[in-house]
Amino acid sequence: MFGDINWPILISSKTNRTPNLQIGNWADWHLTSIFSKKYRMISFEATIKKFDSQGEKTGWTYIEIPVALAEQLKPGNKKSFRVKGKLDQYAFNSVALLPMGGGSFIMPLKADVRKAIGKRKGAILKVSMTVDDAPVVLCPELLECLADEPMALANFKKQPGSHQKYFSNWVSSAKTDATRARRIVQTVTAMLQGQNYGEMIRSLKKDE
């Protein structure tokens, strides 16, 4: 629905009707795909790498998906898209592949993933993945507050789907209602300032 995510049909969970495509009470709607596409599953081995100095990606741990493999997943695509599959025996879904130019992509490996697979930089992973086109469910409270700020909502729509999910997961992972409310305000403020997820987090750390 936003960014690089395909438009779904909005269906009311109460009335079973398709409403006007407008931002409204997001807590009352759920998303369902128009079509279910069949994508190819690819399998390969990858070495875990880590960026030394790479702008906002500095310090990121990742694996590479070279052009030849990316073309098997989504021929001709140069934009970020989501995948699901396995890293060794660790199952994952809705993970964004990020374009690095020339048709190649990377898959960032967050700390919780590295802990689950028990591997670090230099280790070899057995990877299997396919395109994940399941609808992304975003935090309803965040969407409602963004809807009250047209400029913030417009900037949120411009964010890549992966960044929209980062913001949403960050809000939803709050342990208390107070923390959730604070993170919603911080996200809306970041959208008004035109920041992406990484820029917002760095800005917040500087203010601590």
Residue ranges of E strands in the chain:
9-12, 29-32, 42-47, 49-50, 61-65, 81-87, 90-101, 104-108, 124-131
Residue 37 lies in a domain: no
Residue 13 lies in a domain: no
CATH number at residue 78: 2.40.30.100
Domain identity same for 81 and 123: yes
pLDDT at 4: 42
- Is 143 in the same domain as 124? no
Same domain membership, residue 126 and residue 146: no
For residue 21, tell me if it sits in a domain. no
Residue 141 and residue 65 share a domain: no
- Distance, in Å, from the CA atom of 21 to the CA atom of 157, rounded to the nearest integer, reads 14
Q: Are 118 and 150 in a shared domain?
A: no
Q: Specify whether 121 is located in the same domain as 150.
A: no
| Same-domain pairing of 203 and 166 | yes
Counted domains in the chain: 2
pLDDT, residue 63, reads 96
- 104 and 48 in one domain? yes
| Domain-embedded: residue 98 | yes
Residues spanned by the domain of 179: 136-207
Residue-level pLDDT at 56: 66
Final residue of a domain: which of 111, 131, 151?
131
Tokens 């992966």 sit at which residue? 162
Query: Can you give the pLDDT of all 208 residues of the chain as single tens digits?
Result: 344 433 333 333 333 443 333 333 333 323 333 334 578 899 999 999 998 866 667 788 999 999 999 999 999 999 888 899 999 999 998 888 999 988 999 999 988 899 999 999 999 999 999 999 888 789 999 999 999 999 999 999 998 777 888 899 899 989 999 999 999 999 999 999 999 888 898 888 877 6
Radius of gyration of the chain (CA): 18
- Let me know: does 129 contact 42? Beta carbons within 8 Å: yes
**What one-character DSSP code corresponds to residue 156?**
H
Asked whether residue 127 falls in the same domain as residue 140, the answer is: no
Domain boundary among 131, 161, 195: 131
Domain end point (choices 131, 156, 182): 131
pLDDT for the residue numbered 208: 66
Long-range contacts of 29-32 (CB under 8 A, 24+ apart): 30/137, 31/1, 31/135, 31/136, 31/137, 32/8, 32/135
- Report the alpha-carbon distance of residue 152 to residue 188 in Å, rounded: 6
Query: Could you give the CA distance from residue 205 to residue 208 in angstroms, rounded to a whole number?
Result: 5
Is the same domain home to 121 and 144?
no
Please check whether residues 146 and 200 belong to one and the same domain: yes
